[in-house]
Protein backbone atom coordinates (compact mmCIF):
# COMPACT_ATOMS: atom_id res chain seq x y z
CA UNK A 1 0.00 0.00 0.00
CA UNK A 2 1.35 3.41 -0.94
CA UNK A 3 2.00 6.36 1.32
CA UNK A 4 -0.79 8.94 1.21
CA UNK A 5 -0.69 12.71 1.45
CA UNK A 6 -3.44 15.13 2.40
CA UNK A 7 -3.69 16.42 -1.18
CA UNK A 8 -3.91 12.86 -2.51
CA UNK A 9 -6.77 12.09 -0.14
CA UNK A 10 -8.48 15.37 -1.01
CA UNK A 11 -8.19 14.63 -4.73
CA UNK A 12 -10.07 11.36 -4.26
CA UNK A 13 -12.76 13.11 -2.22
CA UNK A 14 -13.08 15.84 -4.85
CA UNK A 15 -13.33 13.42 -7.80
CA UNK A 16 -12.29 9.75 -7.98
CA UNK A 17 -11.66 10.05 -11.75
CA UNK A 18 -9.28 12.94 -11.20
CA UNK A 19 -7.50 10.78 -8.62
CA UNK A 20 -7.11 8.03 -11.21
CA UNK A 21 -5.69 10.47 -13.79
CA UNK A 22 -3.19 11.82 -11.29
CA UNK A 23 -2.14 8.95 -9.04
CA UNK A 24 -2.98 5.76 -10.94
CA UNK A 25 -2.46 6.65 -14.60
CA UNK A 26 -0.01 9.45 -13.79
CA UNK A 27 -1.27 11.42 -16.75
CA UNK A 28 1.17 14.02 -18.04
CA UNK A 29 -0.45 17.43 -18.53
CA UNK A 30 2.70 18.85 -20.10
CA UNK A 31 4.37 22.11 -19.20
CA UNK A 32 1.16 23.91 -18.33
CA UNK A 33 1.17 25.37 -14.81
CA UNK A 34 -1.63 27.47 -13.36
CA UNK A 35 -0.53 30.94 -12.34
CA UNK A 36 -2.13 30.45 -8.92
CA UNK A 37 -0.03 27.40 -8.08
CA UNK A 38 3.14 29.05 -9.46
CA UNK A 39 2.51 32.15 -7.34
CA UNK A 40 1.98 29.94 -4.27
CA UNK A 41 5.25 28.11 -4.89
CA UNK A 42 7.33 31.29 -5.24
CA UNK A 43 5.78 32.96 -2.20
CA UNK A 44 6.49 29.84 -0.11
CA UNK A 45 10.10 29.82 -1.29
CA UNK A 46 10.52 33.50 -0.35
CA UNK A 47 9.15 32.93 3.17
CA UNK A 48 11.29 29.83 3.60
CA UNK A 49 14.44 31.78 2.69
CA UNK A 50 13.41 34.71 4.91
CA UNK A 51 13.07 32.46 7.98
CA UNK A 52 16.12 30.42 7.08
CA UNK A 53 18.21 33.61 7.28
CA UNK A 54 16.45 34.61 10.51
CA UNK A 55 17.71 31.37 12.08
CA UNK A 56 21.24 32.57 11.18
CA UNK A 57 20.59 35.94 12.77
CA UNK A 58 20.23 37.83 9.49
CA UNK A 59 17.07 39.83 8.91
CA UNK A 60 16.35 40.71 5.32
CA UNK A 61 15.05 44.14 4.42
CA UNK A 62 11.65 44.18 2.73
CA UNK A 63 13.39 45.10 -0.55
CA UNK A 64 15.67 42.07 -0.28
CA UNK A 65 12.70 39.80 0.30
CA UNK A 66 10.86 41.22 -2.74
CA UNK A 67 13.99 41.03 -4.90
CA UNK A 68 14.36 37.34 -4.04
CA UNK A 69 10.71 36.86 -4.98
CA UNK A 70 11.06 38.72 -8.31
CA UNK A 71 14.26 36.85 -9.23
CA UNK A 72 12.72 33.49 -8.36
CA UNK A 73 9.64 34.33 -10.47
CA UNK A 74 11.78 35.11 -13.49
CA UNK A 75 14.12 32.12 -13.09
CA UNK A 76 11.44 29.53 -12.51
CA UNK A 77 8.65 30.77 -14.76
CA UNK A 78 7.24 27.74 -16.63
CA UNK A 79 6.93 27.53 -20.42
CA UNK A 80 3.16 27.99 -20.21
CA UNK A 81 1.63 29.89 -17.34
CA UNK A 82 -2.12 29.31 -17.44
CA UNK A 83 -4.18 32.42 -16.62
CA UNK A 84 -7.91 31.77 -16.73
CA UNK A 85 -9.17 35.31 -16.29
CA UNK A 86 -8.88 37.22 -19.60
CA UNK A 87 -8.89 40.54 -17.75
CA UNK A 88 -5.74 39.70 -15.80
CA UNK A 89 -2.15 39.13 -16.91
CA UNK A 90 1.03 37.76 -15.37
CA UNK A 91 1.94 41.12 -13.81
CA UNK A 92 -1.33 41.20 -11.84
CA UNK A 93 -0.48 37.86 -10.23
CA UNK A 94 3.17 38.72 -9.65
CA UNK A 95 2.10 41.97 -7.94
CA UNK A 96 -0.41 40.07 -5.85
CA UNK A 97 2.40 37.86 -4.52
CA UNK A 98 4.57 40.93 -3.81
CA UNK A 99 1.71 42.49 -1.85
CA UNK A 100 1.26 39.31 0.23
CA UNK A 101 4.94 39.28 1.14
CA UNK A 102 5.01 42.99 1.82
CA UNK A 103 1.99 42.82 4.16
CA UNK A 104 3.45 39.81 5.94
CA UNK A 105 6.84 41.50 6.31
CA UNK A 106 5.34 44.63 7.86
CA UNK A 107 3.14 42.64 10.24
CA UNK A 108 5.86 40.32 11.58
CA UNK A 109 9.19 42.12 11.21
CA UNK A 110 11.64 41.43 12.96
CA UNK A 111 10.24 37.85 13.02
CA UNK A 112 10.95 37.21 16.69
CA UNK A 113 7.48 36.10 17.75
CA UNK A 114 8.79 32.53 17.98
CA UNK A 115 11.86 30.42 17.15
CA UNK A 116 11.81 28.48 13.90
CA UNK A 117 12.86 24.85 14.30
CA UNK A 118 12.00 23.48 10.84
CA UNK A 119 11.22 24.86 7.39
CA UNK A 120 9.48 22.98 4.56
CA UNK A 121 9.93 19.90 6.72
CA UNK A 122 9.08 16.54 5.11
CA UNK A 123 7.28 14.23 7.53
CA UNK A 124 6.30 10.59 7.05
CA UNK A 125 4.40 8.79 9.79
CA UNK A 126 2.16 5.83 10.53
CA UNK A 127 -1.52 5.98 11.33
CA UNK A 128 -1.53 2.46 12.79
CA UNK A 129 0.83 0.34 14.87
CA UNK A 130 1.62 -2.01 11.96
CA UNK A 131 2.70 0.79 9.67
CA UNK A 132 0.16 -0.28 7.06
CA UNK A 133 -1.38 3.17 6.65
CA UNK A 134 1.26 5.81 6.12
CA UNK A 135 0.99 9.55 5.59
CA UNK A 136 3.53 12.01 4.31
CA UNK A 137 3.45 15.78 4.10
CA UNK A 138 5.44 19.00 4.18
CA UNK A 139 5.15 21.42 7.08
CA UNK A 140 5.67 24.99 5.86
CA UNK A 141 7.19 26.12 9.16
CA UNK A 142 7.46 24.65 12.62
CA UNK A 143 8.30 26.99 15.49
CA UNK A 144 8.48 27.12 19.29
CA UNK A 145 6.84 29.98 21.13
CA UNK A 146 8.46 31.46 24.27
CA UNK A 147 6.02 29.46 26.46
CA UNK A 148 7.16 26.20 24.80
CA UNK A 149 4.12 25.73 22.56
CA UNK A 150 4.95 24.12 19.22
CA UNK A 151 3.33 25.91 16.30
CA UNK A 152 2.62 24.28 12.94
CA UNK A 153 2.31 27.00 10.32
CA UNK A 154 0.66 26.79 6.93
CA UNK A 155 0.84 29.66 4.42
CA UNK A 156 -2.14 30.06 2.10
CA UNK A 157 -2.07 32.23 -1.02
CA UNK A 158 -5.67 31.61 -2.15
CA UNK A 159 -8.07 34.51 -1.75
CA UNK A 160 -10.68 32.56 0.20
CA UNK A 161 -10.59 31.96 3.93
CA UNK A 162 -12.01 28.90 5.65
CA UNK A 163 -14.57 29.29 8.43
CA UNK A 164 -13.39 28.53 11.95
CA UNK A 165 -15.66 25.45 11.99
CA UNK A 166 -13.90 24.11 8.89
CA UNK A 167 -10.48 24.93 10.29
CA UNK A 168 -11.30 23.10 13.52
CA UNK A 169 -12.00 20.05 11.35
CA UNK A 170 -9.15 20.59 8.87
CA UNK A 171 -7.33 17.37 8.12
CA UNK A 172 -3.99 18.57 6.81
CA UNK A 173 -2.52 20.35 9.83
CA UNK A 174 -4.12 17.88 12.24
CA UNK A 175 -2.31 15.06 10.44
CA UNK A 176 0.91 17.05 10.77
CA UNK A 177 0.17 17.37 14.47
CA UNK A 178 0.18 13.56 14.70
CA UNK A 179 3.58 13.57 12.98
CA UNK A 180 4.94 16.24 15.32
CA UNK A 181 3.70 14.37 18.36
CA UNK A 182 5.55 11.28 17.16
CA UNK A 183 8.74 13.32 16.58
CA UNK A 184 8.54 15.39 19.79
CA UNK A 185 6.55 13.28 22.24
CA UNK A 186 7.52 15.52 25.17
CA UNK A 187 5.59 18.52 23.75
CA UNK A 188 2.07 18.48 25.01
CA UNK A 189 0.92 21.84 23.64
CA UNK A 190 0.66 22.20 19.87
CA UNK A 191 -1.03 25.00 17.98
CA UNK A 192 -2.15 24.97 14.34
CA UNK A 193 -1.84 28.29 12.50
CA UNK A 194 -2.94 29.33 9.02
CA UNK A 195 -1.67 32.56 7.49
CA UNK A 196 -4.07 33.69 4.79
CA UNK A 197 -1.57 35.95 3.06
CA UNK A 198 -3.93 37.43 0.48
CA UNK A 199 -6.54 38.58 3.01
CA UNK A 200 -4.27 39.02 5.12
CA UNK A 201 -5.40 37.19 8.24
CA UNK A 202 -4.13 34.61 10.74
CA UNK A 203 -6.31 31.78 12.09
CA UNK A 204 -5.54 29.21 14.76
CA UNK A 205 -6.92 25.92 15.99
CA UNK A 206 -6.02 23.24 18.51
CA UNK A 207 -6.76 19.51 18.62
CA UNK A 208 -7.22 17.26 21.62
CA UNK A 209 -6.01 13.64 21.53
CA UNK A 210 -9.60 12.45 21.12
CA UNK A 211 -9.94 14.58 17.96
CA UNK A 212 -6.75 13.10 16.57
CA UNK A 213 -7.90 9.52 17.30
CA UNK A 214 -11.12 10.24 15.41
CA UNK A 215 -9.14 11.70 12.52
CA UNK A 216 -6.93 8.60 12.35
CA UNK A 217 -10.01 6.34 12.11
CA UNK A 218 -11.58 8.50 9.36
CA UNK A 219 -8.36 8.68 7.39
CA UNK A 220 -7.80 4.92 7.54
CA UNK A 221 -11.39 4.43 6.35
CA UNK A 222 -10.79 6.76 3.42
CA UNK A 223 -7.53 5.02 2.47
CA UNK A 224 -9.34 1.65 2.50
CA UNK A 225 -12.01 3.11 0.23
CA UNK A 226 -9.34 4.29 -2.22
CA UNK A 227 -7.59 0.90 -2.15
CA UNK A 228 -10.90 -0.82 -2.88
CA UNK A 229 -11.56 1.56 -5.78
CA UNK A 230 -8.18 0.58 -7.17
CA UNK A 231 -8.95 -3.15 -6.85
CA UNK A 232 -12.34 -2.68 -8.56
CA UNK A 233 -10.98 -0.07 -10.97
CA UNK A 234 -13.94 2.03 -9.94
CA UNK A 235 -13.12 5.75 -10.21
CA UNK A 236 -16.31 7.53 -11.28
CA UNK A 237 -16.32 11.16 -12.37
CA UNK A 238 -17.72 13.66 -9.87
CA UNK A 239 -18.63 16.94 -11.55
CA UNK A 240 -18.52 20.07 -9.41
CA UNK A 241 -17.67 23.72 -9.97
CA UNK A 242 -14.04 22.72 -9.30
CA UNK A 243 -13.98 21.00 -12.72
CA UNK A 244 -13.13 24.42 -14.21
CA UNK A 245 -9.73 24.20 -12.51
CA UNK A 246 -9.15 20.53 -13.29
CA UNK A 247 -6.03 20.00 -15.39
CA UNK A 248 -7.49 16.76 -16.78
CA UNK A 249 -10.70 18.31 -18.10
CA UNK A 250 -9.78 17.85 -21.76
CA UNK A 251 -9.33 14.09 -21.15
CA UNK A 252 -12.28 13.64 -18.79
CA UNK A 253 -15.07 11.35 -20.04
CA UNK A 254 -17.66 13.58 -18.33
CA UNK A 255 -16.38 16.71 -20.03
CA UNK A 256 -15.01 15.69 -23.39
CA UNK A 257 -18.40 15.83 -25.19
CA UNK A 258 -19.12 19.22 -23.72
CA UNK A 259 -15.73 20.51 -24.86
CA UNK A 260 -16.28 19.10 -28.35
CA UNK A 261 -19.72 20.72 -28.49
CA UNK A 262 -18.18 24.03 -27.43
CA UNK A 263 -15.59 23.67 -30.19
CA UNK A 264 -18.28 22.94 -32.79
CA UNK A 265 -20.13 26.00 -31.62
CA UNK A 266 -17.11 28.10 -32.57
CA UNK A 267 -15.13 27.61 -29.41
CA UNK A 268 -17.12 30.14 -27.44
CA UNK A 269 -16.62 29.93 -23.72
CA UNK A 270 -19.33 30.90 -21.21
CA UNK A 271 -17.66 34.23 -20.54
CA UNK A 272 -17.60 35.06 -24.28
CA UNK A 273 -21.35 34.70 -24.89
CA UNK A 274 -22.26 38.24 -23.81
CA UNK A 275 -19.52 39.72 -26.03
CA UNK A 276 -20.69 37.66 -29.02
CA UNK A 277 -24.30 38.79 -28.60
CA UNK A 278 -23.26 42.43 -28.28
CA UNK A 279 -21.21 42.10 -31.48
CA UNK A 280 -24.14 40.47 -33.33
CA UNK A 281 -26.40 43.37 -32.33
CA UNK A 282 -23.75 45.85 -33.53
CA UNK A 283 -23.54 44.10 -36.91
CA UNK A 284 -27.34 44.03 -37.32
CA UNK A 285 -27.63 47.71 -36.46
CA UNK A 286 -24.80 48.57 -38.83
CA UNK A 287 -26.45 46.74 -41.74
CA UNK A 288 -29.85 48.28 -40.95
CA UNK A 289 -28.24 51.74 -41.13
CA UNK A 290 -26.63 50.85 -44.49
CA UNK A 291 -29.94 49.65 -45.94
CA UNK A 292 -31.62 52.89 -44.83
CA UNK A 293 -28.84 54.94 -46.43
CA UNK A 294 -29.14 52.91 -49.67
CA UNK A 295 -32.88 53.64 -49.90
CA UNK A 296 -32.33 57.35 -49.26
CA UNK A 297 -29.65 57.62 -51.99
CA UNK A 298 -31.80 55.70 -54.49
CA UNK A 299 -34.72 58.04 -53.87
CA UNK A 300 -32.50 61.13 -54.22
CA UNK A 301 -31.08 59.84 -57.54
CA UNK A 302 -34.56 58.96 -58.86
CA UNK A 303 -35.90 62.41 -57.91
CA UNK A 304 -32.93 64.06 -59.64
CA UNK A 305 -33.37 61.91 -62.78
CA UNK A 306 -37.11 62.63 -62.95
CA UNK A 307 -36.60 66.36 -62.54
CA UNK A 308 -34.05 66.39 -65.34
CA UNK A 309 -35.74 63.87 -67.59
CA UNK A 310 -32.87 61.37 -67.34
CA UNK A 311 -32.78 57.58 -67.09
CA UNK A 312 -29.03 57.04 -66.75
CA UNK A 313 -26.67 58.77 -64.27
CA UNK A 314 -22.87 58.32 -64.25
CA UNK A 315 -20.66 57.52 -61.25
CA UNK A 316 -16.83 57.19 -61.32
CA UNK A 317 -16.72 53.58 -62.48
CA UNK A 318 -20.38 52.58 -62.90
CA UNK A 319 -23.65 53.96 -64.18
CA UNK A 320 -27.01 53.94 -62.48
CA UNK A 321 -30.10 53.16 -64.59
CA UNK A 322 -33.40 54.51 -63.40
CA UNK A 323 -36.65 53.08 -64.70
CA UNK A 324 -39.88 54.90 -64.05
CA UNK A 325 -42.84 52.60 -64.41
CA UNK A 326 -46.49 52.18 -63.65
CA UNK A 327 -48.90 49.29 -63.68
CA UNK A 328 -52.53 48.26 -63.49
CA UNK A 329 -53.69 46.51 -60.37
CA UNK A 330 -57.06 45.67 -58.77
CA UNK A 331 -58.39 48.55 -56.66
CA UNK A 332 -58.84 46.39 -53.59
CA UNK A 333 -55.05 45.91 -53.37
CA UNK A 334 -54.41 49.30 -51.75
CA UNK A 335 -57.60 49.57 -49.68
CA UNK A 336 -57.52 49.38 -45.94
CA UNK A 337 -61.27 49.81 -45.38
CA UNK A 338 -63.84 47.82 -47.35
CA UNK A 339 -61.08 45.70 -48.81
CA UNK A 340 -62.93 42.39 -48.34
CA UNK A 341 -66.13 43.64 -50.04
CA UNK A 342 -64.22 45.14 -52.98
CA UNK A 343 -62.17 41.96 -53.39
CA UNK A 344 -65.38 39.86 -53.39
CA UNK A 345 -66.93 42.13 -56.04
CA UNK A 346 -63.83 41.72 -58.21
CA UNK A 347 -63.72 37.93 -57.79
CA UNK A 348 -67.49 37.64 -58.53
CA UNK A 349 -66.91 39.65 -61.70
CA UNK A 350 -64.07 37.33 -62.79
CA UNK A 351 -66.19 34.25 -62.07
CA UNK A 352 -69.15 35.66 -63.97
CA UNK A 353 -67.00 36.57 -66.97
CA UNK A 354 -65.07 33.28 -66.74
CA UNK A 355 -61.74 35.15 -66.47
CA UNK A 356 -60.94 33.88 -62.98
CA UNK A 357 -58.54 31.08 -63.95
CA UNK A 358 -56.72 33.32 -66.40
CA UNK A 359 -56.28 36.24 -63.99
CA UNK A 360 -55.34 34.19 -60.96
CA UNK A 361 -52.52 32.49 -62.87
CA UNK A 362 -50.76 35.86 -63.20
CA UNK A 363 -48.36 37.64 -60.93
CA UNK A 364 -48.48 41.48 -60.70
CA UNK A 365 -46.52 41.95 -63.92
CA UNK A 366 -48.65 39.37 -65.76
CA UNK A 367 -51.84 41.09 -64.68
CA UNK A 368 -50.52 44.41 -66.01
CA UNK A 369 -49.79 42.74 -69.35
CA UNK A 370 -53.28 41.15 -69.32
CA UNK A 371 -54.76 44.62 -69.11
CA UNK A 372 -52.46 46.57 -71.43
CA UNK A 373 -52.45 43.88 -74.10
CA UNK A 374 -56.21 43.51 -73.86
CA UNK A 375 -56.20 39.78 -73.28
CA UNK A 376 -59.78 39.97 -72.05
CA UNK A 377 -63.17 39.94 -73.74
CA UNK A 378 -63.69 43.58 -74.93
CA UNK A 379 -67.34 43.38 -73.92
CA UNK A 380 -66.24 43.51 -70.27
CA UNK A 381 -63.72 46.35 -70.64
CA UNK A 382 -65.74 49.08 -68.90
CA UNK A 383 -66.66 46.91 -65.94
CA UNK A 384 -63.03 45.72 -65.67
CA UNK A 385 -61.69 49.27 -65.66
CA UNK A 386 -64.12 50.17 -62.89
CA UNK A 387 -62.40 47.67 -60.65
CA UNK A 388 -58.76 48.35 -61.50
CA UNK A 389 -56.49 51.38 -61.36
CA UNK A 390 -53.27 52.58 -62.94
CA UNK A 391 -50.57 53.47 -60.35
CA UNK A 392 -47.03 54.84 -60.44
CA UNK A 393 -44.57 52.44 -58.85
CA UNK A 394 -41.31 53.26 -57.01
CA UNK A 395 -38.59 53.84 -59.63
CA UNK A 396 -36.12 50.95 -60.07
CA UNK A 397 -32.53 52.02 -59.53
CA UNK A 398 -29.88 49.53 -60.71
CA UNK A 399 -26.11 49.74 -60.97
CA UNK A 400 -24.73 48.89 -64.41
CA UNK A 401 -21.27 48.68 -65.94
CA UNK A 402 -20.34 51.61 -68.12
CA UNK A 403 -20.36 50.75 -71.78
CA UNK A 404 -18.14 52.12 -74.54
S1 LIG B 1 -13.13 17.50 -15.05
FE2 LIG B 1 -14.33 17.25 -13.20
S3 LIG B 1 -15.27 15.23 -13.39
FE4 LIG B 1 -13.57 15.30 -14.85
S5 LIG B 1 -11.82 14.45 -13.79
FE6 LIG B 1 -11.73 16.64 -13.51
S7 LIG B 1 -12.80 17.01 -11.57
FE8 LIG B 1 -13.35 14.94 -12.25
Distance CA 316, CA 322 (A): 17
Report the separation in Å between the CA atom of 161 and the middle of ligand 1, taken as the mean of its atom positions: 24
pLDDT tens-digit series, residues 126-152: 999 888 999 999 999 999 999 999 999
- Per-residue pLDDT, 205: 95
The protein residue whose alpha carbon is closest to atom 2 in ligand 1 is: 243
Pick among 2.60.120, 2.60.40, 3.40.50, 3.90.320: CATH of 1-24+113-267:
3.90.320
3-state SS string over 156-213?
A: ECCCCCCCHHHHHCCHHHHHHHHHHHHHCCCCCCEEEEEEECCCCEEEEECCCHHHHH
Share of the chain above pLDDT 90, in %: 50
The atom of ligand 1 lying closest to the CA of 249 is 1
Distance CA 125, CA 212 (A): 14
Choosing from 239, 247, 250, 251 the residue with most ligand 1 atoms within 8 A of its CB, the one to mutate for a pocket test is 239
Report the separation in Å between the CA atom of 248 and the middle of ligand 1, taken as the mean of its atom positions: 7
Choosing from 34, 248, 251, 253 the residue with most ligand 1 atoms within 8 A of its CB, the one to mutate for a pocket test is 248
The atom of ligand 1 lying closest to the CA of 239 is 3
How many C-beta neighbours within 10 Å does residue 4 have? 22
Sorted by where each begins, the domain ranges of the chain are 1-24+113-267, 31-112, 273-310, 322-401
The atom of ligand 1 lying closest to the CA of 15 is 8
pLDDT tens-digit series, residues 57-84: 999 999 999 999 999 999 998 877 888 7
Cα 118–Cα 105–Cα 75 angle in degrees, nearest 5: 75
Which residues line the pocket of ligand 1, CB cutoff 6 A? 15, 17-18, 237-239, 242-243, 246, 248-249, 252, 254-255
pLDDT tens-digit series, residues 165-212: 999 999 999 999 999 998 888 888 999 999 999 999 999 999 999 999
Amino acid sequence: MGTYSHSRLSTFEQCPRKYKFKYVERFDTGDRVSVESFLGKIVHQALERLYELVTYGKIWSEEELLKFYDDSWEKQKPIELVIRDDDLNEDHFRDRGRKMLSDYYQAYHPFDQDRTVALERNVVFNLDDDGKYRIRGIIDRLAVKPDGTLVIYDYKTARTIQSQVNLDEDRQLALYQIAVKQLWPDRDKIELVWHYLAIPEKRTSERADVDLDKLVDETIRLIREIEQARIDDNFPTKETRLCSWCEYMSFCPAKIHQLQADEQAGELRDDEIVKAIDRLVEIKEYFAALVEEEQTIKKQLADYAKLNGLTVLSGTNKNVNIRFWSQYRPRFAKLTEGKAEEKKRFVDFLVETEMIDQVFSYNAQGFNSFVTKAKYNPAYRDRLFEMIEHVDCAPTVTIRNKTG
